[in-house]
Every structure is written in C-alpha cells, then in structure tokens.
Structure 1
Amino acid sequence: MLLRVSILSTGRWIRVQLEDEYAPIGLVQCVGGVLTLASFQRDFGYGKQDQTRTNALSVGLQQLGAFVGCFLASPIAERYGRKKPLVLFSIVFCIGGVLQTINTGSLTTFYAARVVSGLGLGASTVVVPMFSSEMVPTELRGQIGSFFQLFFTLGIFTSYWIDYGASFIKGKPTIQWQIPIGLQLLPALLLGGGVLTLKESARWLSRKGRHEEAWESLSWIRGDDSRSTIDEMKAIRSGVAAEAQETEGFELKELLHGDYFRRVFAAFCIMAAQQATGATAFAYFGPQYFTLLVGGGQRVLLLTAIFGAVKVAACGAFVLFLANTFSRRQVLIGGAAAMAVCQIATAVVVKIRPAPDDGSVTSSGIVTVALIYLFVAIYNISWGPMPWPYMSEIFPARIREPGIAVGAASQWLFNLLFSLTTPYMMERLGWGTFLVWGVFDVAICVLTFLFLQETKDLSLEAIANQRFDKRV
C-alpha cells in the first residue's frame, strides 16, 4: 500500500510520499502476546519456570539483530541509494519471519530467526529517516518524520488485536500462534513492493551526478515543476556540491571531536531516552504489565489491545494536528514530565493496593489502567514520534549517514537492554518497575531542559551551520 497525500503549503501543492516502510516495525516486535498463548508454549516445550527467560530472549534477540543491522545499512545506502536497500532489507526480514512461522519446535531456531528479522528491521530504521529528511520540505519535516511512530503504533495496534482474537481459537492448535507470527510478513512485503513505486532520493541522485533523474524525482514528489521547485533543485545541487567538498576524506574518528561529537552524542542520548521512558517495554510486554495491574486472565489481552488503540489515536492526533504546532523542546520536556507523574502515581497505587489473586475488578485496578493509558497517550504525542525527525535533522552532510546510524543503533541498543531486563524487573520488583520508569522520566525531563537544542523551522543547512553547544 502506498499513501500519496497532497498538502497545501506555502501557496503551492506539495505531493508528500508516505512510505509503508514504517508499517512493519510495530507488528513484528510485539511478540509478547504470542508468548502468552498456550499453543506456543506447548509446541516449543517450555513451562512456567522458563517464561521469564523466553520472554526476554524472544524480544531481545531481535533487537540485537536490529542493532547490528544499523551499522550495515549506512555503507549500503551510500552505494546503492535508498530504494534498493529497503527492498533488500525487506527480503532479509521476510526470511526471518518465515523461519519464525514454521513450527520447528526449537526455541533455538526461533531465536535465530528473530535475529535475522532484526537485521532487516534495524537497517530499515536507518534508511527510512535518511530518505524522509532528504525528500520532505522543511516546513513539513517534523510532521512527516513523525509518521515513523504512527505506523509503528498502527503495527502494534494490529498485532494486539490479532493476538486477542487468536486466543479464542478452540483447541489451541499450532495455527493459533502461527497466524500472528506469520502476518508480520504482510507489511514487510508491502514495504518491499511499495518502495519500488517511489522515486530515488533527489539528493542522493545529485550526489552521484545523475542530475536529470534528480530533477525528475523532485518534480514528481512536489507534484509540479514550478519556479519554487526549480529553485529548490538548484539549492540541492549547490548543497550537494558543498557536501562533496565537506565529506572528502572523511574518517570515522572525526565523530569523536568537537561539534560533531556533540551532535552524535545528542542523537545517541535522545534515542536512548526514548527507550528509557518505559513505553517500548510496555509495547513489548503489555500482557505481562497488565497482569501486574489487574491480575491474570484473558482480559489482559483485551486491555493490551485497547492500549494499542490508545497509542494509535494519540499518535495520529499528534501527526495530523500537533507536529508543527509546538517546538521540539516544548514537546519533549512537557512529555517527559507528564509521563513521570503517570508512572510514579501507578507505582504508588499498585504498592498500596496490589492486584487481587482472583483477578476481580477493583477500583485501584481501574485507576492504574487509566494511568497507563494516559501515559502511553502522552508518549505518543511526545517521545514516541519526535525523536525520529529530530535525530535525522541535526547532522551536517559530512556526518549525516554515520550520525543517523549511531542514533538508530542507540535506539536498538537500549531497546535490547530494556527488552532483556524488563521481564526480570517485573518478576522481582513488581510495583517498583513503574517507579523505575518514573525516575527515568524525571531525569529525561531535567536533562532535556538543560541540554536539548531547538531545530524547529530551521533548514538542514541552517541547523548544520549553527554550533551545537547551546539552546536556541
């Protein structure tokens, strides 16, 4: 599927391409619901005593593959562009998805397949924001970049409801878990096929001296060949010429010095902070978290599915109405503060009124569920969507590709860290898990206020030319 949207901006129609490369991300990660299905536990031969380790490895190993994939993506994208690598990464992901869907009865094989899928997934998260930042007009960059998170949440939303529906399959046959696992192939196939209908990045084509193709790409995505588009093409060619001089003789060790290091470190920290909010851990282990809040039972899958719907609604509202309204700093500082309140309040309620063993409905359970829904809504209008466009826009041309790779790798590194530790946190800390996330959110709020630099409404060239050592 390819969504082509015409947006009226600055007196002209701009055709903005919203690629389906965002779609696979959410669907393939939410294996937590599948791990609660009795049929999966039976076919792979593990019991309750092994659930914590299985949960951690099933999610964490995919993030390990994604972390490695980030470093493979940049050189491939530099040589072959943006389209062909995304097709390749989709194929790699699908190979892993097929191996996961086959009932091998071996957790080792399942784990290995998760790593393979992660390679394709992580590599895509480097190329997608790179592609987006190169093709989207300055005034729409924050909004279009935020679609990354919107499609993430749509995938999560879909997977939650599929898991919930699969839990009603009678007799608990193997197909009960194969349906949700196998359906992750669909958005990946849409990515691989859909990206073939796009034009290659105009900036990348200009860098390779393919100027006629670059003009064709830019005029197609803008939907016209007006004077403003001609001027934009001239600016791109001029910028590319400057970039060629800037990147000549580049060495990776430059990332460790001066202003370049500050930008790379900022990207590393902001993507790490996105994971440290606790929201991604909720996405992966939703059923397990709701068990802490309301006790066991099939309703935890329903609560998790509603959780996914809240994510989609909040992120959609942000992308459509709020993305260009507030500054980057306002969104991120306010979001972290509000999330801290929700998490700490949840910890207090769960500590005072733990979930009953019989799974009965209690007022404290209703309150904590409401707090978590509010938490995830706030995340999806702040730290969910905003880090992706911010990370993609802060680098000058000389270090853009390795810089974005470092930022995306940071996201997957801390994704891996929290994926492996969250099941053990829930098992051993219980209510303290929410307190940990709340303390992290407080720290994120303070550090963002002190150090984050504003980039809203600035061109990539303007951001590159300003020193990255003070707030503006």
Structure 2
Amino acid sequence: MGLPTQKRAYNWYVAAFLLVATSHLRFYILILYSRYISLVAASCMVLYGYDASVYNALQGSENWDVYFNRVNDQLIGAVNTAYTVGAIVAGWFMGGPIADYFGRRVGMASGAVAVIIATFMQTFSPRGQIGCFIAGRVVVGIGQGLALTAGSIYIGELAPPSIRGKIMSFWQMFYSVGSFLAYWVNYACSRHIEELGDWDWKMVVIFQLLVPCVILAQVFFIPETPRWYMQHGQRYKEARDSLRKVRETEMDVDDEIMIIKEALDYEKEAISSTYSALWKDKSVRKRLLIAFAINAGQQITGQGTLNTYSTAIYKKVFKNPETISLINALNATFGIVFTLNATWTVDRFGRKFLLIAGAAGMAVCMIIVAAVETETPTTDDAKSRPVAISIVFLLFLFSFFYKPSWGATVWIWTAEIFSMNVRAQAVGMSSQVQNVANSIVQQFFPAFLNNEGFYAFYMFAAINVCLGLFTWFCVPETKGVGLEDMDRLFGGKSHARGGVEMGTRLNDKEVGTGRSEDGSDVDTKRGASVVTEVSVPEMPTKI
C-alpha cells in the first residue's frame, strides 16, 4: 500500500513541477517575443539616427565638398533642413492617416520604402547637382515621418503597462544605433580616402539601405496592434490573437479587449472617433501642447545641434579630420550604452524625475564646456591636448544625461499619453515638432557658431534650465498608468470608465447578445461589454 501511495505522490510532484516550469517558460517566451516585435518597430528609429548623423559625417569629407562645388554655410543649413521639411510634412499630414487607415505595419513599411528610394537619389546625384542631393534628403525625411509615427505607436500599444517604459527605451537606443553605424562607417572610409575617392562619402550614404531592408523583411511577420483591429470593424478574433502573443493569460487578454472596447464606445459616442477631438477635447488639447513643448525641447537642449554639427564644433578644437571621425564614432557608441540606462530607470523612478534630472545635468555640462573653451588659449587653430580632451569628456557627459532622459523619455511620454481616437495623428504631429525646432536651430547655428564660438553653449545651458522648470510645473507623471486611463491625468475622463458609465446611464437596457464577424459571442449590453470566444480552452494561470 505504501509504494503505490508514494508513487502517486511522486507523480503529483512531477506534474506540479512541469506545470510550474511550463508556466514560467511561457512567461519568458512572451517577454522575449514582446521585445522582439518591439525591436522590429524600434528599428524605424535607426533610420532617424543614421540620417541625422550621416550629413554631419559627410561635412568632414573633402571629396563630398569638391563633388558639389564647395557648399557654403547657407547651403549646409539647407541640406540639413531639407530632411526635416519632408519629415514635418509626413508627420503632420501623412503619418497619422496611413497608420490609422492602413495599419501600423504599413506605416513602418512605407517609411522604409521611401528611405530606400531616397538613398539611391543621394548616392547617385549627378556631380555638382546639390539640388538632387537635397531632394533625396526631403524624401528620406518623408520616410522618417511615416516610419517614426507608426513605430512608436506600435510599441506603445502592444507593450504591457508595467514594462512599457523599459521596452520603449529601446526606441531611443536605436537612434544611437543609427548614429553608431553612420559614424563608424564614416571613420572606416576616412582611413582609406585615396583608394575610395568619391566613394568615401557615397559608401556612408548607401549603407543606409541596410536597416530599411531589414524592416521590410520582418514587419509583416509581426502582429498588428489589437487597438487597430478594434478600431476597424471591431475585429475581435484578430485583436485577441494579437494580444495572446504578448499577454500571459487568457484573463489578461479578455480584460484588455473589454477595456479597449469600452474606450472606443466612449470616444465614438461622447467625444469623436475622428481627429476633430484634437480641438474638441480640452484634455487632448492640453496634452498636445505639452507634447509639442517637450518634443521641441528635446531638439533645443543642444543634442540635436551636437549630432548635426559636432564635426564643425570639433574642428575648433582638433585639426586632424580622422581624430574627429573617431570621436564622433566613440560618442555614438557610448550613446547606446547611455540610453540603456533608461531601461532600468524609467519605470523605477518615473518619466518626470528623469526629465528634470537630465535637464539639470545638461545645463551644468553646457556651462562648463563653454567656460573651458572660451577661457583657455588657442594655438594654431586648435586647443592644447588636455583642454581638448576635457571638452570631449564634457560633451560625452552631456550625452550621458541626455540619452536616458530627454532622448528616450520624451518619446516614451509622447507615445503613451494620447487616447486611441487621436493617437496616431497626435503622436505624428508631436514627434515632428522636433524637426520644426531642429530646422530652425540648424539653419542659424553654423553662422552663430562661426561668429560666437563656444559662447553659443551658454544659450543651451539657459534653455535646459527652462526645460527643467517647465517639466516640474507642467508635465504629469505617467509611470504605470494604462493607456485607456491616461486621460484623467490631464483633466479628462478615463475612456474605459466613461464607456461603462455611459452604458449605465442607458438604464442597463439589454439589447441582446450578438455575434461578431469572427464568430465570437459579444454581450452588447452597454456597460458590460464582455467578449468571449466560442470553444476557447482555458489557459493555465502562472503559479
């Protein structure tokens, strides 16, 4: 009698162990898959990082300058501004509608295609025809406007709220990856200028084909967001299938489907399911203005200028172009490491803390950089080696403060604050305010730097102080808040709760149980929008 009893007990222990192991294995697979699809979407940011850095790198190429007949300061500003113009047009008028009507994946893919076309336009521009090169910059800007809008929304809508900030931090990290690729390719080419000839700069440009091809190869093999499926015909089956790939239990899937449906009902009946909510809803207007401010602030902290004109800046400190190329490449490499700090800080300390701490750190760095350069002697158009190293260290330290705060956190905050009915358009508009601000600074900074030298950095120090104060008084904390509950932080009503209350006000009138197109049973009673799927086996909960 003892042996059978012991055997049964042993079997129960084995079964319990296997259940726990299976549950934990599935949990880790979900986490890995969530990060994989987020990385595919975040690859759109590589397009931005690469192109924002590539022309900065080209400014150190004598062959590029000769090829286009010695470009003056005004044309340098025009080349830099060109891609921001394309990005602004796409972000404000094209990115949102494409992501909303055709899907987030189509938005990312169309942006990648535009970048591929633009890369060929720039690489094979006829000699002396700077206009063709500028046109290619405009097209690559359009591609960025489409891809960045769709990619940031995609991550925000599929990431679980508890780790949304951590996953979204990869977004800014991939900007640094783009810079990393551009600067190291440029550094490698700078060491073989005589052998490459004009291809010392063409190689840097054409290498931009790599990432959009990678995006196109993967983007249609990752799931579309459940919120997009629910917006387009309440396609429950597709929405549930998408969520099952990134949520741990069936209960999590059911709860999120219910919340999304209630939010959609409320937006349609009480506000507007169209972009008119951007000016009809007071809380949306409020967050749009704040988002405009912090996205503009991201580019006028000084980082946008450093990323575009660091070659020109370092020419005032170093004489060797190869040294400057190496510093740019090292800065991009450290930028990846610095951005990773956001993965463990943004959900632990919150978005607001990082923005304030980052602004304070950047202000101090800019003051010291300006003081060190302007108060030390210059010989033979360069600084002494210790002074030059100090300036490089301080600019790297500036990047250390910028990357996890005003670099990564601004994107995280912008992608998560808007309600579903306006999210694509509002995120597209907000993110392209970065390019509005950047285009203004890029146009006047070359002349400003030539006339005032490093005194220009005192301006950036003052701007960062103002940004820190603005964040303290005007930017609410969004850490851990669900997307459908975000409205209450800005004086509005939770759209999910609003849908429930709206149903209650209809006297709980039963209008029957219907069946959606996918075969799911839908309880259409207002205030109790429960979605259940026929013959779905229960998933084991995590132990």
Q: TM-score, normalised by structure 1?
A: 0.91
Question: Is the Cα–Cα contact under 8 Å of residues 293 and 354 in structure 1 kept in the other structure?
Answer: no
State the Cα distance separating 1:23 from its structure 2 match. 2.2
Written as runs of structure 1 = structure 2, the 5 A alignment for 1:282-321 is 282-295=306-319, 297-319=321-343, 321=344
Distance change >3 Å, CA 375–CA 251, structure 1 → 2 = closer
Bigger shift: residues 429-438 or 112-121: 429-438
State the Cα distance separating 1:231 from its structure 2 match. 2.7
Q: In structure 1, how many angstroms separate the alpha carbons of the residues matched to 2:120 and 2:238?
A: 36
Report whether the alignment pairs 1:83 with 2:108. Answer: no
Q: Say which SS state the counterpart of residue 382 (structure 1) adopts.
A: helix
Q: In structure 1, how many angstroms separate the alpha carbons of the residues matched to 2:397 and 2:284?
A: 37
State the Cα distance separating 1:325 from its structure 2 match. 1.5
- Picking from 226, 236, 254, the partner of 1:202 is 226
- What residue number does 1:400 align with? 423
- Which residue identity lines up with residue 75 of structure 2 in the other structure? T
Question: Is the Cα–Cα contact under 8 Å of residues 246 and 397 in structure 1 kept in the other structure?
Answer: no
Written as runs of structure 1 = structure 2, the 5 A alignment for 1:447-458 is 447-458=470-481
Report whether the alignment pairs 1:233 with 2:257. Answer: yes
Report whether the alignment pairs 1:101 with 2:123. Answer: yes
- What residue number does 2:236 align with? 211
- Picking from 143, 165, 180, the partner of 1:142 is 165
Distance change >3 Å, CA 243–CA 178, structure 1 → 2 = same
- What residue number does 2:86 align with? 65
Report whether the alignment pairs 1:114 with 2:144. Answer: no
Q: In structure 2, how many angstroms separate the alpha carbons of the residues matched to 1:450 and 1:8?
A: 44
Question: Is the Cα–Cα contact under 8 Å of residues 203 and 240 in structure 1 kept in the other structure?
Answer: no
- Which residue identity lines up with residue 212 of structure 1 in the other structure? K
Q: In structure 2, how many angstroms separate the alpha carbons of the residues matched to 1:434 and 1:7?
A: 51
- Which residue identity lines up with residue 124 of structure 2 in the other structure? I
State the Cα distance separating 1:190 from its structure 2 match. 1.3
Bigger shift: residues 113-122 or 139-148: 139-148
Report whether the alignment pairs 1:419 with 2:452. Answer: no
Report whether the alignment pairs 1:131 with 2:154. Answer: yes
Distance change >3 Å, CA 311–CA 229, structure 1 → 2 = same
State the Cα distance separating 1:9 from its structure 2 match. 11
Distance change >3 Å, CA 210–CA 295, structure 1 → 2 = same
State the Cα distance separating 1:117 from its structure 2 match. 0.8
Q: In structure 2, how many angstroms separate the alpha carbons of the residues matched to 1:100 and 1:458?
A: 43
Distance change >3 Å, CA 248–CA 447, structure 1 → 2 = closer
Question: Is the Cα–Cα contact under 8 Å of residues 56 and 420 in structure 1 kept in the other structure?
Answer: yes
Q: In structure 2, how many angstroms separate the alpha carbons of the residues matched to 1:380 and 1:352?
A: 28
- Which residue identity lines up with residue 148 of structure 1 in the other structure? W
Q: In structure 2, how many angstroms separate the alpha carbons of the residues matched to 1:234 and 1:9?
A: 24
- What residue number does 1:42 align with? 66
State the Cα distance separating 1:393 from its structure 2 match. 1.6
- Which residue identity lines up with residue 99 of structure 1 in the other structure? M
Bigger shift: residues 349-358 or 249-258: 249-258
Q: TM-score, normalised by structure 2?
A: 0.80
Distance change >3 Å, CA 251–CA 74, structure 1 → 2 = closer
- What residue number does 1:3 align with? none
Q: Say which SS state the counterpart of residue 237 (structure 1) adopts.
A: helix
- Picking from 463, 466, 489, the partner of 1:443 is 466
Q: In structure 2, how many angstroms separate the alpha carbons of the residues matched to 1:159 and 1:54?
A: 22
Identity across the alignment (%):
24
Bigger shift: residues 239-248 or 156-165: 239-248
Distance change >3 Å, CA 24–CA 287, structure 1 → 2 = same
- Picking from 204, 209, 212, the partner of 1:180 is 204
- Which residue identity lines up with residue 85 of structure 2 in the other structure? L
Q: In structure 2, how many angstroms separate the alpha carbons of the residues matched to 1:427 and 1:468?
A: 47
State the Cα distance separating 1:245 from its structure 2 match. 2.9
Q: In structure 1, how many angstroms separate the alpha carbons of the residues matched to 2:281 and 2:250?
A: 42
Unaligned runs of 5+ in 1: 1-5
Q: In structure 1, how many angstroms separate the alpha carbons of the residues matched to 2:163 and 2:263?
A: 20
Residue deviations 1:320-370 (CA, integer Å, cap 9, x gap) = x22312111110001101100000111111110154325464322221111
Report whether the alignment pairs 1:258 with 2:279. Answer: no
Q: In structure 1, how many angstroms separate the alpha carbons of the residues matched to 2:138 and 2:144?
A: 10
State the Cα distance separating 1:467 from its structure 2 match. 3.2
- RMSD, aligned α-carbons: 2.3
Question: Is the Cα–Cα contact under 8 Å of residues 277 and 440 in structure 1 kept in the other structure?
Answer: yes
Q: Say which SS state the counterpart of residue 183 (structure 1) adopts.
A: helix
Q: Say which SS state the counterpart of residue 383 (structure 1) adopts.
A: helix
Unaligned runs of 5+ in 2: 1-22, 493-543
Question: Is the Cα–Cα contact under 8 Å of residues 39 and 176 in structure 1 kept in the other structure?
Answer: yes
Q: Say which SS state the counterpart of residue 315 (structure 2) adopts.
A: helix
Q: In structure 1, how many angstroms separate the alpha carbons of the residues matched to 2:158 and 2:460?
A: 36
- Picking from 433, 441, 456, the partner of 2:456 is 433
Q: In structure 2, how many angstroms separate the alpha carbons of the residues matched to 1:7 and 1:391?
A: 33
Q: Which has the larger radius of gyration?
A: 2
* Number of equivalences: 459
Distance change >3 Å, CA 130–CA 38, structure 1 → 2 = same
State the Cα distance separating 1:229 from its structure 2 match. 2.7
Q: In structure 2, how many angstroms separate the alpha carbons of the residues matched to 1:370 and 1:80?
A: 46
Q: In structure 1, how many angstroms separate the alpha carbons of the residues matched to 2:133 and 2:83?
A: 10
Q: In structure 2, how many angstroms separate the alpha carbons of the residues matched to 1:186 and 1:278?
A: 29
- What residue number does 1:326 align with? 349
Residue deviations 1:181-212 (CA, integer Å, cap 9, x gap) = 00111111212222111111111001112211
